[in-house]
Amino acid sequence: MGRMLTIEGLRLATRRHGAPVELVRGLDLSVSAGAVTALVGASGCGKSLTCLGIQDCLPSGVTRLAGRVAVDGQVKAGLELRGRLVATVMQNPRSAFNPVLSMRAHALETLKAAGRQGPDSDKRILAAFAEAGLDEPARILALYPFQMSGGMLQRVMIALALLSEAPFLIADEPTTDLDLVLQAHVLDLIERLVARHGLGVLLITHDMGVVARAARTVAVMESGQIVERGDVHDIFTEPRHAATQALVAAHLALYPEEQVA
């Protein structure tokens, strides 16, 4: 059986006006190797917090009340997961880079954090950058974040994920800030990496077009809970929960030609 990332009973909360408010309310989810699992839902339903909660790097003011994250059945702490078992690609790549570090320095840090630094580091960095579709990787390694476009930075994030050799990738709205052509490139790239390296991807999005294009299974979230899950085809053809029906209807209203038979 392939590798599996499992999240069980994740509960995240904050305090408002002195009273506790649960933002993620007992979420169970699994991500299989070699496939893309989409976590979808309207803005504010808790997708990003779930992604941060899995890795135990929550923003201040939000705490984890309960929940376990396991890889292949073994419970893991955030520190063991981050960068070693789970790599991340985020919506706004610019905010993920240190403005005073070159791409090479970022890549070396990634290797160090993953415990994979060695005499062949530079060779591996060049290979990962090339695989992420960055032309002239040797030139790009010398660049700083401000010298690069959002699309290039997104590819570097994916290259860094590859370098870490983490078996799982959490991609939080990886295409939202990109134009349509770059969106397609990034989704193509993720699909290739899933096929070639057997990555297990948790793709967080509110865009059902991205879901239809990239995901095998889908979990639909509303108000901090998963309200429906299923195969991507079933989600589009027979959505059962009102939240799923609303997401599918909104998508088909925009793209009626994508009506699934």
What are the residues binding ligand ATP (CB under 6 A)?
Answer: 14, 23, 41, 43-49, 59, 61-62, 206
Q: How far apart are CA 109 and CA 119, in angstroms?
A: 14
In eight-state DSSP terms, residue 102 is -
CB of 44 to ligand ATP, least distance (A): 4
CB of 223 to ligand ATP, least distance (A): 9
With vertex at residue 88, the alpha carbon angle to CA 149 and CA 20, rounded to the nearest 5 degrees, is: 115
Quick one: 12 or 103, whose CB is closer to ligand ATP? 12
Question: Which residue has tokens 């998508």?
Answer: 251
CB of 28 to ligand ATP, least distance (A): 17
Quick one: 108 or 170, whose CB is closer to ligand ATP? 170
Do 23 and 46 contact (CB within 8 A), yes or no?
Answer: yes
Quick one: 58 or 143, whose CB is closer to ligand ATP? 58
Which of 181, 253, 175, 165 is CA-nearest to residue 211?
175
Quick one: 63 or 121, whose CB is closer to ligand ATP? 63
Quick one: 22 or 234, whose CB is closer to ligand ATP? 22
Q: Is the torsion defined by CA of 38, 42, 43, 47 positive or negative?
A: negative
Structure tokens at 13: 């909360």
Quick one: 22 or 109, whose CB is closer to ligand ATP? 22
Q: Is the torsion defined by CA of 40, 202, 8, 115 positive or negative?
A: negative
Structure tokens at 242: 């009102």
CB of 97 to ligand ATP, least distance (A): 20
Distance in Å from the first CA to the final CA of the chain: 32
Chain length of the chain:
261
Cα torsion 84, 90, 94, 98 to 10°: value is: -20
Structure tokens at 229: 């899950």
CB of 105 to ligand ATP, least distance (A): 29
CB of 175 to ligand ATP, least distance (A): 13
Element at 158 (helix H, strand E): helix 150-164
CB of 46 to ligand ATP, least distance (A): 4
Quick one: 163 or 186, whose CB is closer to ligand ATP? 186
